[in-house]
Structure 1
Amino acid sequence: MTSKRAGSVLALLALSPGEPVPVDQLADELWGEEPVGNARNAVQAIVSRLRRMLRPVSGRRGSEFIRTSRYGYVLDVAPEAVDAYRFRHLAGAGAGLVHPDPAAAIDELEQALGLWSGPALMNVRDGARCQAHALRLEEQRITAFEHLTEAKLAVDGEPISVSELQEMATTYTERERLSELLMLALYRDGRQAEALEVFHGARRRLARSLALEPGPALHLTYQAILNQDVTLGRPRPAMSHSGRTC
């Protein structure tokens, strides 16, 4: 339990690199409303343990790596050394390039998503602050995936994993943009009937889970596919079972 609490302290410090995190915030994250004899001393003990654990990794004295300040504790690292910061920076840069330079956007967004290896703050999500940070990071990850897919659709010949996009659209039903992108990807792949079925599937899931109808953007995409609107781009010719185009 102590090592998990040390991980929670490190996570909170790392999410605000170079900035002091007050002791009372750390104590609240670790114990919440659970009574603890002397919270300040308990936090200090965990920080001391954390310093010893990190010294072989950082190559710095623990008290230099995690500094004591007037207001709490500070993780003395550059923001660029923290994956969450790097992800946000790359994702933000990529989002700004989707329309003016989609090829460059793909590079930035793939780097951003490549930093992920599992759920955000996977082992330290018990406290309220870590949970809130994790939820925000997960939302930003999905948004980055949406931007990446949009950029790929704008670049001829850029491969898109339809199966991954299908999984995301099904998992995150409330994110209608994922269903729109999936419909467009399927349509461009010459799979118009499947693209239309995505709309009906999203409609059923929204009605069942949220008692909602799809929004205007999803309806417009559905109608555009029905009409084979030229603004959607040219679909690839459908293939027959023999492998020849129909």
Structure 2
Amino acid sequence: MIQKTIAPFAFSALFLLLAGTLYWDLYWELVWSFLSVVGLAYGVYKKGTLGQLVCAAALLAPLSIKLSLPFADVYLPIEFISTATAVVVFLTIVNAAKGIWLRKFPLPLLWLITFLPGICFSELLDASLKFSALNGIFVVGFYYGCIALAERGIRFPYLPYIIALIPVTVVALYHFAQFEFNPITISGIFKPFFYSHTMYGAVMAFLAAIALGNFPHRSLWKWVFVVCVLLTLFSGSRAALWSLVFMFLLYALV
């Protein structure tokens, strides 16, 4: 754990680094982003507000848009928040849980290790590194983060995520109406929030599965399920439709 006497010196050194990059105009956007993530993660970790950070991520994830920064193309603000979440969860694992979650649930980490051969032999190293890093961030931040929240009796905030999808769907319907409901245009009507209709359809199919599993708990999930199935059909994604088919088959078997 970072000691109180060390923390001010550490952050002072980091901000001096930022000042140097501003002076010499060397990757100052990247350094500033790094410092912002570290600052947010440190504050959340010290305050013990991981639940609020995950809730913010759930609310802002569907509303994030792709921006081209000098050092990379990123989806903001979700990639910023998810990176901070991963740092908080990592600190929690190292300093509090003694790595017990990694021993109890090793499969996600083993899955991430399978990315290494692809990185080593990749012809697009930058793209491979970013892809692997993003998967690592989401696995650590949200898989192990949800385990950390579950131990505190906090469930994943589905409601903020579903609410955030409402304006996304409204914008998509508006774009679709602008194109006179031409099915050829459906692949791009979800921009700038979703790159393609397959991403939107996958999200809706995923939420439909969650709603189906929560039927016994609250009747409201039945309406969520119906709406998500209809929106999956609306997305026109064949992969998402197949997901629904397999979901029903597995549900019937279980």
Q: Same fold (TM over 0.5)?
A: no
Q: Structure 1 length as normaliser, TM-score?
A: 0.31
Say which structure is richer in helix.
2
TM-score, normalising length: structure 2: 0.31
